[in-house]
Chain A
Amino acid sequence: MNENNILEIKNLSVIYKTDLETVNAVNGIDISIKKKSTFGLVGETGAGKTTTARSIIRLLPAVGHVTGGSIEFEGQDLLTLPAEDMREYRGDKIAMVFQDPMTSLNPVMSVGDQIAETVKIHNPHLSKDEIDKRVEDTLSMVGILPSRKVEYPHQFSGGMKQRVIIAIALACEPGLLIADEPTTALDVTIQAQVLMMIKDLRDRLGTSMLMITHDLGIVAKICDDVGVMYAGEIVESGTVEDIFEGKNHHPYTEGLFGSIPNLKSKAKRLNAIPGLMPDPTNLPKGCVFAERCKYATDICREQHPGVVASGTHTLRCHLFDENGNRKEKKNEQ
């Protein structure tokens, strides 16, 4: 494992298996998260972003199984850890913030107790006063008056609840914070407050982050590296500069950018991507995006593309040669 990385995911595959069908949710992805940096995982519903995150902290639902690959965190493969040992990582070294602040808090427990719970489990030697102090510090860190620790979740607004959840996640100062769409359920002005807070705390505490989002604006604002996920694969990855400023892109990334209504352009029609994501129970044998791709040729439908890289930038697309340069341009419009 590379010394500069806190987390390395190699060739991870995850399936959801029921009696009726097998869903190929994640299919051989590689992700490296550098220490003190933020990796943005972008993609649409069903792309496999949350499955990836849940695999890292091993909270997949019962029907989910990792079928291959490794997830190394600070040199330790998390997938081979006994369940008992995994508990020491979960919440302490790796914490997760879930999307929906309305359902991730316990409604019959005061928020102070909920923060104290995590601290207590991972620091059994602390006295009651020390734990109290930690709870108050954590609350003020996320901009909530420490005196509100006795209140219950229903007394907080959505944005405040999400702050409490972030406070719980950061209470043990984890090395890696996984944030799964942390602001999707919030209004835009509250989203801005919470994002700025996450950014400040991350920089202050030196936390590495895996940020899952569908919003490219958030990626541009707080991520250092980006992976674009589609149908369980990372189809393009690189630094934010590679993705936002580079000229070679996976057609899906191009489509994602084209679909966002631009605040500046006066164009009246959006460049929608036609069609839908392929059925994950029955993935095509060629490129997963071929069916919706305007550049697709026979090879795209027949042969699954490998990864090509140029520097930090990787692409999984037949349009590019082994050095990551665009091959021929005859199909362009």
Chain B
Amino acid sequence: MSSNMENDTPLLQLKDLKKYFKLNGGAMLHAVDGINLDIYEGETIGVVGESGCGKSTLGRTILRLIEPSSGEIIYRGKDITKMSQGKFRPYRQEMQIIFQDPYASIDPRKSVIEVIAEYMLIHKTYKHQADIYNRAAELMDMVGLARRYANMYPHELDGGRRQRIGIARALSLNPKFIVCDEPVSALDVSIQAQILNLLMDLGDDLNLTYLFITHDLSVVKHISDRIMVMYLGQAVEIATSDELFENPLHPYTQALLAAIPEPDLSKRDIPFKTIKGEVSSPINVKPGCRFCKRCDFAKPGCDGTDKPLIEVSPGHFVACDLHNKPM
């Protein structure tokens, strides 16, 4: 899943992307608050953060399932942010999403093959319906669903198989870019491993680009080429997967990594280094480092102005005053 990042232009560019939700009384909820990211063809970008950090909103805003408040989304050099729905339609085929909950994201009244064929029927991918259903059956093979399930209904299948339906449906329009929104978090660990392996194999075979959203750091490390850590709508650190785990720089990233219980007895007596407090409210956020109230290293100046992402070593960006010297 590697790519020659330096040479080609990004598949997708996000420029200061923002999504604010207006609440009753005029307050603003800053769900996504100025994300800048280049995503290159064939790579997998992991987006990690805790509930409420805006990672799912980001995924949906990129696909314009939620319209962004400001900023730009540039796909293959073309600004798709303000494109009319009609013009955007062909792009939708190339950009798909796999949802978190395999129980809620599939129409319970359609059979497996109908769910998989649905998008192709809408977009009239093939002239004859028979071809569409043939393609749907091929997709079932591709995601490891036995064809005998074709006429069953989703409630007859377990979570892992249902998630395979969701994957087959997302692949049906031959997308280039797929947002995976916590695709394995509703699954048991042995089934989770099956689905992660499947996603990685498909990524390699079809040269897919993934934006992989998850709260599970071990999953994100496993699947991603690069990782973006989000906190309260902002990116606090971006680095390659290995670099982030070996050399986390932002205090929040460090705290996240220290909080994972590892299945290793040698770590048993080392207490977790817990961070104090909880995520503060994303409503009417004041400028400044969003994490500074919980941060052990906070000092005057951490609040007041937003901290930009600074490249501290090649490909490693961090938004923190402790590391504000560019390389």
A interface residues, Cβ below 8 angstroms from B: 44-45, 157, 159-160, 187-193, 195-196, 214-221, 240-241, 244-245, 255-263, 266, 268-274, 276
Contact = CB atoms under 8 A, between A and B. Distances in A.
A256 B218 contact: no
B189 A259 contact: yes
B269 to A, nearest CB: 9
B197 A260 contact: no
A189, A258, A271, most chain B CB atoms within 10 A: A189
A244 B267 CA distance: 12
Interface in B181-219: 188-194, 196-197, 200, 215, 217-219
B222 interface: yes
Given A189-B50, A196-B272, A244 B264 contact: yes
A162 to B, nearest CB: 12
B300 interface: no
B200 A196 contact: no
Interface string B161-191: 0000000000000000000000000001111
B215 A220 contact: no
B259 A270 contact: no
B261 A218 contact: yes
B274 to A, nearest CB: 5
Contacts of B103: none
Interface string B255-273: 1101111111101100110
Given A44-B189, A271-B193, A215 B275 contact: no
Given A269-B200, A271-B193, A272-B197, A257 B222 contact: no
Contacts, number: 119
Contacts of A273: 190, 193-194
B260 A272 contact: no
Contacts of A244: 263-265
Contacts of B191: 44, 272, 276
Indicate the size class of the contact surface on chain B. Answer: 35 or more
Contact of B263 (A191, A192, A196, A260): A260
Contacts of A259: 189-190, 192-193
Interface in B224-252: 242, 245
B189 A240 contact: no
Given A157-B278, A195-B272, A261 B190 contact: no
B182 to A, nearest CB: 13
Contacts of A214: 188-189
B51 interface: yes
Contacts of A189: 50, 255-256, 259, 274-275
Given A270-B197, A272-B197, A220 B268 contact: yes
Contacts of B278: 157, 159-160, 190
A195 B260 CA distance: 11
A188 B256 contact: yes
B190 A215 contact: no
Given A189-B274, A191-B259, A263 B217 contact: yes
A240 B256 contact: no
Nearest to A219: B263
B50 to A, nearest CB: 4
B54 interface: no
B275 A256 contact: no
Contacts of A190: 50, 278
A195 B218 contact: no
Contacts of A262: 218, 222
A249 B35 CA distance: 47
B221 interface: yes
B158 interface: yes
Given A261-B221, A270-B222, 17 more contacts: A44-B189, A160-B278, A188-B256, A190-B278, A191-B261, A196-B274, A220-B263, A221-B272, A256-B189, A259-B193, A260-B263, A261-B223, A263-B262, A268-B222, A270-B193, A272-B190, A276-B191
A92 B172 CA distance: 57
A309 B304 CA distance: 63
B189 A187 contact: no
Nearest to B265: A244
B218 A188 contact: no
A276 B261 contact: no
A272 B194 contact: yes
A268 B201 CA distance: 10
Contacts of A240: 265, 268
Given A188-B217, A196-B272, A274 B194 contact: yes
A270 B219 CA distance: 10
Contacts of B160: 276
B51 A187 contact: yes
B208 to A, nearest CB: 15
A42 B221 CA distance: 24
Top 9 nearest A-B pairs (CB, nearest first) are: A217-B261, A272-B193, A261-B222, A192-B259, A216-B263, A270-B193, A259-B193, A187-B50, A44-B188
